[in-house]
């Protein structure tokens, strides 16, 4: 049922996609993908508040699954943009904090947090977040440098 919603979304039939996701949710109220698809579809038609609610529901249902979606960059951009479009900077900041809780090494979450903090005038907190991001980047660079190179063996 989620597949039908996704196919309709991909075809640009947003209202029909929402009906497909509603049917999927009715059939399986804890189906995370249906809520994610619903959120993405609602975002596309500028229904930002309902999109945020759908994403929140997905996180409440399955935090581990959503953590993996954050790491892959999925959902994150749509949700963040929905909050920005509503000029809900505190909500966006809360969202970035949640993303950092789910993945403490998320460059994207720290970057978003820094931008929101700067925009609302909390420059000292933004600098602390920037320092943390730089620390993450440095540690990731060190990990990369010390990994053994790939060897092809016959």
**Tens digits of per-residue pLDDT, 101-134?**
777 877 777 888 888 898 889 999 999 999 998 9
In terms of domains, do 71 and 108 share one?
A: no
In terms of domains, do 64 and 113 share one?
A: no
Residue 152 falls inside a structural domain:
no
Residue 153 falls inside a structural domain:
no
In terms of domains, do 93 and 78 share one?
A: no
Q: Which DSSP string do the residues of the chain spell out, in sequence order? A: -HHHHHHHHHTT-HHHHHHHHHHHHHH-TT-HHHHHHHHHHHHHTT-HHHHHHHHHHHHHH-HHHHHHHHHTTTTHHHHHHHHHHTT-HHHHHHHHHHHHHH-TT-HHHHHHHHHHHHHTT-HHHHHHHHHHHHHHHHHHHHHHHHSPPP----
Residue 59 falls inside a structural domain:
yes
Global pTM reads: 0.57
Q: 6-28: per-residue pLDDT in tens?
A: 788 788 889 999 999 999 999 99
In terms of domains, do 141 and 73 share one?
A: no
């Amino acid at each position: 049922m989620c597949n039908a919603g996704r196919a309709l979304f991909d075809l640009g039939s947003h209202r029909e996609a929402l009906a497909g996701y509603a049917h999927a949710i009715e059939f399986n109220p804890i189906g995370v993908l249906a809520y994610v698809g619903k959120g993405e579809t609602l975002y596309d038609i500028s229904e930002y508040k309902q999109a945020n609610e759908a994403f929140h529901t997905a996180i409440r249902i399955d935090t581990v699954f959503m953590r993996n979606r954050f790491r892959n960059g999925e959902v994150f951009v749509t949700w963040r943009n929905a909050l920005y479009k509503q000029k809900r900077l505190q909500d966006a900041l809360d969202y970035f904090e949640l993303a950092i809780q789910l993945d403490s090494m998320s460059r994207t979450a720290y970057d978003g947090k820094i931008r929101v903090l700067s925009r609302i005038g909390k420059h000292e907190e933004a600098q602390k977040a920037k320092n943390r991001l730089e620390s993450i980047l440095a540690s990731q660079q060190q990990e990369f440098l010390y990994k053994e190179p790939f060897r092809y063996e016959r």
